Amino acid sequence: MSKNPTTTKAPLTTKPGPLASIRSLAKRITRGMPAVGQTPYTVVWSENKWRLLRFRNTTGAAPKYATPILLVPSLINRWYVLDLAPGRSLIEWLVAQGHDVFIIDWGTPTDEDRFLTWDDICGRYVGRAVRQTAKFSRDGVAHVLGYCLGGTLAVNYTAAFPEHVASLVALAAPIDFAAAGMMTLWTRTPTFDVQAMTDGFGNLPWPIMQASFQMLKPTMNAGKVMSLLDRAWDDEFLDGFLATERWGNDNVSFPGACYRDYIEQLYRRNALLEGTMTLCGKPALLKNIDCPLLSISFTHDHIVPPAAANALLDAVASPDKAKLELGGGHVGAVVSKKAATGLWPKMSAWWADRDSNEARGL
């Protein structure tokens, strides 16, 4: 009688414990923080502290699409959140698809910039960036995407000066400031003395801004630590985590006069949605926006709740307008690897369908 052959069971795999994560983290940190903003670019315009960057395809191929895209990031964050790291870069991905991509690098304001107003930054700086980008277009126009506060700037500018805007994408952009949650309650309290803060500081220091966002989700940092200890053994996760943290702690101060305008006109008066906003002396009426419009929000966005972003759709006159609401948070949904198969292709396809005046019905 033959013996049954012995079988070898595969060893059980278990997730490494916290000590392994700590060792991996310590080893990784000795190599320094990951590089960011690696997509090659040229500076096509500079003025005061800000620059307009144009990105190029590493293959040397000419852009596939006729209409360039201008990205307007938040005024208080670094532009490279949209070029975070290879595989996590919206800019890298768009360039690879054949789009001609530009972005505003706001730079770092210094003491003299405390006198810059909302008109200066939204009307003059954004306006210059739109016009310079449009020069690279066959039709003299540019697609404009504004992210977060950059979206508010882009919408405000387009409402007053729509001439060179081919289409508008508002990405997690606050429009209805009455629906902005705790930030609205905080900035509308009588003890929130914005004049005293800017008189004392000049430019509003970035640590105050950062603390206000942390106030919205007090357990966020503790959650990050737990997630890090749970997954630091994973090199891919660790690189993405460190790149995001590098950006999240690389903030800039808010020009003082502009900050006063921002609080008084938007948070306290909701002037953009109420139709009382002006820009460089011209009415900035949302009902005057009639270009193709895409409003994007995220269900778990604690900084710009969907209600604050989606109010834009009913306020504009655009016959071609759409809403895209996806899962995820304010930053993660834009820079995660999942975005490369979800959010980014949807935006690219939307722009591709509106690439020329003929496609836009003009």
Angle at alpha carbon of residue 255, lines to 263 and 50, rounded to 5°: 125
Q: Which helix (H) or strand (E) holds 264?
A: none
Given a contact cutoff of 8 angstroms between Cβ atoms, the answer to whether 67 and 137 are in contact is: yes
How far is residue 70's CA from residue 202's CA, in Å, rounded to a whole number? 30
How far is residue 233's CA from residue 15's CA, in Å, rounded to a whole number? 9
Q: Is 328 left (phi over 0), alpha (psi -120 to 50) or beta?
A: left
How far is residue 169's CA from residue 21's CA, in Å, rounded to a whole number? 40
* Per-residue tokens: 154: 């882009």
Which residues share a beta bridge with 169? 145, 294
Catalytic residue from among 99, 143, 164, 330: 330
In terms of Cβ atoms closer than 10 Å to its own Cβ (0-12, 13-18, 19+), residue 262 is buried
How far is residue 134's CA from residue 28's CA, in Å, rounded to a whole number? 43
Using CA atoms, how far residue 163 sits from 127, 143, 187, 189, 291, in Å, is: 10, 12, 34, 38, 10
Catalytic residue from among 83, 120, 122, 148: 148
Of 9, 76, 75, 83, residue with least CA distance to 53: 83
Query: Could you confirm whether 99 is annotated as catalytic?
Result: no
Query: Could you confirm whether 111 is annotated as catalytic?
Result: no
Of 162, 207, 165, 47, residue with least CA distance to 116: 47
Hey, what's the torsion of the CAs at 193, 194, 196, 200, to 10 degrees? 140
Catalytic residue from among 119, 176, 301, 355: 301
Please give the positions annotated as active site.
148, 301, 330
